[in-house]
Structure formats: structure tokens, C-alpha cells
């Protein structure tokens, strides 16, 4: 890699491979967009050019800030008010009129642009919860797009809307018509967004990070749905993503962007098998893979250089008198939530078993991975361990090196003192950091709560924590909104380390980050664990990430642990059908290992009630852990034998 690449600055050389001679449905030529900030232009797009043919899938790839979403906003005519198209053209060959129109020259509020937007070109946004109205039903929101762009009566429109909801995979479309977004899971909310975009049968669909932060199995279902609708309607797809595994399974051509420029473009096979630009090569090296050798590290586009200060080096590490005791032991923990319905009167209610008799042990100094889909109980279990939620039953024992502490038995004063031993890193750093507090106040707050040191000590500790996570201490007076997602996550890590804990629980800390930023944070956590002697419980739904960072792994489904093994054993010999389903749903970079969408979406691995013997989990059959040797355990029906599992 050239020296400029190591510094994170890439050459402006552009490598284009395009042998297509047929007329493109969409053609972007030399597009340049500036944002006006304090009367000064800041370039967002610089001479961007690419095309999308009818029925083709083109992937726009790059990190956050590369210009992918700005490109989609320019095509849709929804650029912010402070954005200016300096030059270039966006040519759209409208199949309805047979005419080519330059979208860049249209007034965004004109009748012609309004007809194109949503009628001929639709978009699926990244975060459906913020894109859907919380006060309108799903039926009203999906049908609104139809009534705006198609001539249909209300009865006909609602019928078409219900049919589309069924088409995108809602189990009960009629009921979904009356539901609100907050009543749906993340996967169903994304399906509602797809239904809204597809109801007008557009000729071009723009999907802006449609599967970011979704479980791998839900992601596979969404990707399969998009491919099926695309084939059925003859629709072109512009897929915006930073996940190269998704690109390998979805696209025909790839356009790689960096800092508003196209770095490389061409057919999928050519770019993935023989990438030419250093930036694309760097992105590929940053992706977690199952074939990494022992000790091999991810290579982010920009490395983080951390530095341990004197205060952190002086950390009072507890002497371990009994090394045979696990650092944390969870035994038969269960938690049930009461769900109410029936409006103001709460007439009807039902119980939901979120955590069902979970037992696990975490050894001192190891990284213990907990993997499973959303809703399986991972976060609830972590909150129970932190004593933020009280379980219905079970025991949580923390061993500080000399004595065992019953976490559930701690009173308020004892619990405050105990918090110094165990800290938490949240999934979404933006919502976890107070927007009204500076970084200094955020890092200082735990020290104030636990009455550690004076102002001078707290300032020195905050400075050391910033250097520890690779941030400039001069940023201490800034607010969270002025940082990128990866930088905010590093601030969250610094806050968790402020009290110098022995055990850290990481709840999906990299699920919504770009692959390169994800590599930065994962490498940082591995380095900090080794340097500070931390014990880490790492929660994720991505098995590729878990494979990279964890020593031992527990797989969780429907509130229960179904398999526990070391990293090598779990990935070399997955036994439980749910573990196998998760593994099969991880998209690979290698074109020779495409996702089997049919096997992923049509199997019963994610439905515990449909598991076959001996893995039955139907709420009636009693189950137990079977030892398969070398610390490998799988949950099976009581009375099962190893031969039953092998069969």
C-alpha cells in the first residue's frame, strides 16, 4: 500500500471499467455538489459518474462521509437546503414518458419532480423507525404513496396496500394495516419501508443501507425479498452499503467512493477478484472473516494509536487468590415480562419469557461472546447481570479475586461500590451520550458519582482516557454531535474505563459502524483487554465479529443458551441447527461462497417450536446440556444420547 494510503489519504486516480454500450436507465455524469457552511463551499461530491441499466443492480460502496447518501439525495431531488449542484447532470430515461430528463436541472418542488420521486424512483432509508411516522398506521403510510402517484379509489388502494404487505412477508397483512411502527420488530419495519417504496412499481429503487444493524438472518430475508421483487417487476436497484459481503451477494456492478469521488468502478467479479485501487483493497482487509489465522488482525483504513497514561498504569489490580473460580457465574437465571393490551383499561395481558433458566461462566481475562438474533434475550441478560433488572429467579456471583459477591443480594450502597468492578458499553453511542454535556463532563461524571479524586485528578484522568482510545485530548471541550459514529463509540469505551473496572459488558458496540470503523473499535477492544487485563462479555448478532474477538461463545435463542463452545470448536463443528443457521446467513466476500437465500429463509432453524429431536424446544419437553467434549455443550431433550445429536 502506498504511503498516502497509510496516512488515510488516497490518490485521486480513478479506475473505471465499463463495457456497457446500451442506454442506461439512470446516468450520472460529472456530478459536483457543495454544501454551503458559513458562506463557504464544502465539496461533498466531486465529478461523480456512473450509470444504472434497466434491471441491473449497482452497489455504491464506501465509508460514512464518502458521498453515497448525498448521491442518492441528489437523484431523488431531496438535497438539504444548503446544498448546491455546481455542475453535472443526472439523466433519467423515464419509461412512462419515453423521454430523458435531467433531474439536476429540475426544481425539486416541481410537479414533474414530484411525479418522478416516489412514482418512478423510490428510496428505502437506512433507519425505518425515524423514517416512519409514529402517529400513523402502517396501512395509512404505505397507501399514501399509492394515492399520491396512482389514480385509485380508497377501497382499491387499501386492497392493493394489504396485498403489498403480504407480498413483502407480513404474516398478517390485515392486522399490519392497523398497527403502528413501534409495534413492529426491526425487520418488519424495514419490510414496511420496502412496501412503501414498491407500492408504485418504480423503475428504479434506491436502497440506502437497507440492512444495517439487522440480524444476519433478517438481513438475508430482506435481501432475498428485494431480489425477488426486482426480478418480478423488472426493476433496477441502486444499493448503497458499506457491507462488502452484501455487495458480493447482490450486485452486478460496483462503484467505490471516497471523500466524494469515485475511486474505482466496474463489474463485480473484476473488482472483487482483482481490485486495483488501494482504498478498495483496504476496505476488503477490514472485513472480519472466518479464515483469519490465529493472531491475525483486521487492517482498518486508518489505525488507532492508543496510549496508556500513568494514572491508568497505576491501576490497582486485585490479587487473584483462587484462580479456579470463574470471574462471573450466572446460574438458572429467568425473567418474565408482563405485556398489556386493550387500551387504557389494560384488559388483556400475557407473559413473555425473555430469559429462560440461563447458566454460564466467564473466566477471568477472557472475552466471552454471546450471539443471537434481536429479541433472543441477550440485552435483558446483560442488564440482569448489571443488576439494572431484577430476575425472577437465579443466582449471579461475581468473584473479585478474593471473595464471591452475590450481586442480587447487594443493597443500594453496596451496589454503588460494586459498579466500579463492572461497566457497560452501549449499542448506540449517540443516544448513550448526553448531548448537553461536553466530552470532559461525560468522562468525569463516573468519577464524580464515585467521589474519586479532585478536579485536577479528574481532568488528568479524562486526558489519559482520551489518549487511551486514540482521541486527541483537545477534543474534551466538544459535544458528542461533533464526532463521527466511531469516535462517539470510543468515547463510550473511555467512559466505561473511567472507573478502571475488571469486567466490561459490550452490547452490540459495532453493529451500526462502517467496516473500517468497526475494525478500529474491535482492534482497540482487543488491545485494551490485553493491556489492562480486562474480562469482556461481548454481545453481538454477527458471528464473523464474534469469531474475531471472542475466546468462548454462547449461542442464545428464544431466551435460552442452546450451544456453548470455544471459538475453534463452534466454527469447526457447529451442532445446534440454530447455530448452523446463523453461520449460513453471514455474507462472505468470496464470490465462490454465495448466500443460499432459500435455505436461510425457508428453514425452521429460527423457530424453536419447529426444531426436530433431539433439539426440541417447545416449552413442554425438558432440556439439558449435553457435553460433547473439550468444553463444547449443546442443549438437547432430556434422555438424548450423543448418537442422537450426531444423527
| pLDDT tens for each residue of 379-429 | 899 999 999 999 999 999 999 888 899 999 999 899 999 999 999 998 877
Name the nearest CA neighbour of 386 among 337, 430, 420. 420
Q: Say if residue 209 is in the same domain as residue 321.
A: no
The reported pLDDT for the residue numbered 317 is: 59
SS3 34: strand
Whether 323 maps to a domain, the answer reads yes
Q: Is the peptide bond before 264 cis (omega within 30 degrees of 0)?
A: no
Average of pLDDT values for 609-634?
Answer: 82
DSSP one-letter code for 113: H
- Domain membership of residue 479 (yes or no) is no
Residue range 117-146: mean pLDDT, rounded: 86
Out of 10-19, 62-71, 141-150, least confident range: 10-19
- What is the tens place of the pLDDT at every residue in 280-289? 998 898 888 8
Contacts of 3 (CB under 8 A, 6+ apart): none
Res 20: pLDDT: 46
Cβ contact 532:499 at 8 Å: no
pLDDT reported for residue 548: 93
State the residue range of the domain holding 319. Answer: 310-421+501-646
Pairwise pLDDT comparison (374 vs 498), residue with the higher score: 498
Do 244 and 372 lie in one domain? The reply is: no
Q: Is the pLDDT of residue 8 over 50?
A: no
Residue 275 gets which letter from DSSP? -
Whether residue 317 sits in one domain with residue 244: no
Residue 262 lies in a domain: no
Please tell me what DSSP assigns to residue 418. H
Same domain, residue pair 90 and 157: yes
The model's pLDDT over 306-350, given as tens digits with 9 standing for 90+, comes to 777 777 776 655 566 566 789 999 999 999 988 665 555 555 567
| Count: domains in the chain | 2
Q: What angle do CA 404, 408, 409 make, to 5 degrees?
A: 75
Cell of 276: 486495483
CATH for 185:
3.40.50.300
pLDDT in tens, 193-240: 888 888 888 999 999 888 776 778 878 888 888 888 888 888 999 999
Same domain for 337 and 209: no
Would 437 be classed as within a structural domain? no
Q: Residue 4 — pLDDT band, cuts 50, 70, 90?
A: very low
- Tell whether 245 and 335 lie within a shared domain: no
Q: What is the pLDDT of residue 136?
A: 92
Residue 189 CA, distance from chain mean position: 15
Tens-digit pLDDT profile for residues 419-460: 999 999 988 777 889 999 999 999 999 999 999 989 999 999
Query: Could you tell me the maximum CA-CA distance found in the chain, to the nearest angstrom?
Result: 80
**Among 180-184, 209-213, 384-388, 566-570, the least confident range:** 209-213
DSSP state, residue 545: H
Q: 339 and 244: one domain?
A: no
Q: How many whole angstroms separate alpha carbon 612 and alpha carbon 608? A: 9
Same domain, yes or no, for 414 and 535? yes
Confidence of residue 95 (pLDDT cuts 50, 70, 90): confident
Please indicate, yes or no, if residue 383 is contained in any of the structural domains.
yes
Q: What residue has cell string 441491473?
A: 56
Mean pLDDT of the chain: 86
pLDDT surpasses 50 at 6: no
Same domain? For 122 and 52 the reply is yes
Q: Percent of the chain scored above 70 by pLDDT?
A: 90
Instruction: Say if residues 149 and 115 touch (Cβ distance below 8 Å).
Output: yes
Residue 172: inside a domain: yes
pLDDT at 381: 95
Identify the band that residue 477 occupies on the pLDDT scale cut at 50, 70 and 90.
Answer: very high
pLDDT at 1: 30
Amino acid at each position: 500500500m502506498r504511503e498516502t494510503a497509510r496516512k488515510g489519504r488516497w490518490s485521486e486516480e480513478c479506475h473505471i471499467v465499463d463495457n456497457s454500450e446500451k442506454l442506461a436507465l439512470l446516468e450520472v455524469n460529472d456530478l459536483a455538489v457543495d454544501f454551503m457552511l458559513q458562506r463557504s463551499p464544502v465539496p461533498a461530491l466531486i465529478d461523480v459518474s456512473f450509470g444504472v441499466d434497466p434491471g441491473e443492480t449497482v452497489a455504491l460502496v464506501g465509508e460514512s462521509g464518502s458521498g453515497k447518501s448525498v448521491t442518492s439525495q441528489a437523484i431523488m431531488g431531496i438535497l438539504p437546503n444548503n446544498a448546491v449542484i455546481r455542475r453535472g447532470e443526472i439523466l433519467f430515461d423515464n419509461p412512462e414518458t419515453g423521454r430523458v430528463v435531467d433531474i439536476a436541472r429540475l426544481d425539486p418542488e416541481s410537479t414533474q419532480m414530484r411525479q418522478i420521486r416516489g412514482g418512478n424512483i423510490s428510496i428505502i432509508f437506512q433507519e425505518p423507525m425515524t423514517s416512519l411516522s409514529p402517529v400513523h398506521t402502517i396501512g395509512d403510510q404505505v397507501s399514501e404513496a399509492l394515492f399520491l402517484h396512482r389514480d385509485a379509489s380508497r377501497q382499491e388502494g387499501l386492497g392493493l396496500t394489504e396485498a403489498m404487505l403480504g407480498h413483502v412477508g407480513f404474516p398478517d397483512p390485515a392486522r399490519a394495516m392497523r398497527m403502528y411502527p413501534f409495534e413492529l420488530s426491526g425487520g418488519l419495519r424495514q419490510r414496511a419501508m420496502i412496501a412503501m417504496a414498491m407500492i408504485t412499481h418504480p423503475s428504479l429503487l434506491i436502497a440506502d443501507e437497507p440492512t444495517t444493524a439487522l440480524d444476519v438472518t433478517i438481513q438475508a430475508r430482506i435481501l432475498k425479498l428485494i431480489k425477488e421483487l426486482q426480478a418480478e417487476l423488472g426493476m433496477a436497484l441502486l444499493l448503497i452499503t458499506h457491507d462488502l459481503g452484501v455487495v458480493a451477494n447482490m450486485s452486478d456492478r460496483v462503484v467505490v467512493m471516497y471523500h466524494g469521488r469515485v475511486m474505482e468502478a466496474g463489474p463485480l467479479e473484476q473488482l472483487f477478484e482483482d481490485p486495483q485501487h488501494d482504498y478498495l483493497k483496504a476496505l476488503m482487509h477490514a472485513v472480519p472473516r472466518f479464515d483469519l489465522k490465529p493472531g491475525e488482525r483486521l487492517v482498518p483504513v486508518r489505525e488507532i494509536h492508543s496510549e496508556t497514561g500513568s494514572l491508568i498504569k497505576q491501576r490497582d489490580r486485585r490479587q487473584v487468590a483462587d484462580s479456579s473460580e470463574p470471574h462471573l457465574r450466572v446460574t438458572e437465571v429467568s425473567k418474565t415480562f408482563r405485556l398489556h393490551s386493550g387500551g387504557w383499561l389494560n384488559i388483556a395481558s400475557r407473559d413473555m419469557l425473555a430469559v429462560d433458566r440461563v447458566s454460564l461462566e466467564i473466566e477471568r481475562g477472557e472475552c466471552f461472546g454471546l450471539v443471537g438474533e434481536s429479541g433472543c434475550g441477550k440485552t435483558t441478560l446483560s442488564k440482569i447481570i448489571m443488576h439494572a433488572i431484577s430476575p425472577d429467579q437465579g443466582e449471579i456471583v461475581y468473584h473479585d479475586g478474593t471473595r464471591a459477591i452475590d450481586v442480587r443480594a447487594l443493597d443500594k450502597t453496596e451496589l454503588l461500590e460494586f459498579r466500579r468492578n463492572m461497566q457497560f458499553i452501549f449499542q448506540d453511542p449517540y443516544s448513550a451520550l448526553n448531548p448537553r454535556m461536553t466530552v470532559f463532563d461525560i468522562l468525569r461524571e463516573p468519577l464524580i458519582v464515585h467521589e474519586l479524586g479532585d478536579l485536577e485528578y479528574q481532568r488528568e484522568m479524562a486526558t489519559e482516557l482520551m489518549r487511551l482510545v486514540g482521541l486527541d485530548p483537545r477534543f474534551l471541550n466538544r459535544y458528542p454531535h461533533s464526532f463521527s459514529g466511531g469516535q462517539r463509540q470510543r468515547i463510550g469505551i473511555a467512559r466505561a474505563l473511567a472507573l478502571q473496572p475488571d469486567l466490561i459488558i459490550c452490547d452490540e458496540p459495532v453493529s451500526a459502524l462502517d467496516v473500517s470503523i468497526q475494525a478500529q473499535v474491535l482492534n482497540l477492544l482487543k488491545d485494551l483487554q490485553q493491556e489492562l487485563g480486562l474480562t469482556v462479555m461481548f454481545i453481538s448478532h454477527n458471528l464473523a465479529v464474534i469469531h474475531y474477538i471472542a475466546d468462548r461463545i454462547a449461542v442464545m435463542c428464544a431466551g435460552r443458551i442452546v450451544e456453548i463452545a470455544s471459538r475453534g470448536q463452534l466454527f469447526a463443528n457447529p451442532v445446534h441447527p440454530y447455530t448452523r443457521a446463523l453461520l449460513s446467513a453471514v455474507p462472505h466476500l468470496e464470490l465462490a461462497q454465495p448466500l443460499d437465500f432459500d435455505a436461510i429463509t425457508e428453514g425452521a432453524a429460527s423457530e424453536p417450536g419447529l426444531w426436530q429431536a433431539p433439539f426440541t424446544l417447545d416449552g413442554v419437553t425438558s432440556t439439558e446440556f449435553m457435553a460433547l467434549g473439550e468444553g463444547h455443550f449443546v442443549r438437547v431433550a432430556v434422555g438424548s444420547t450423543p448418537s442422537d445429536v450426531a444423527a
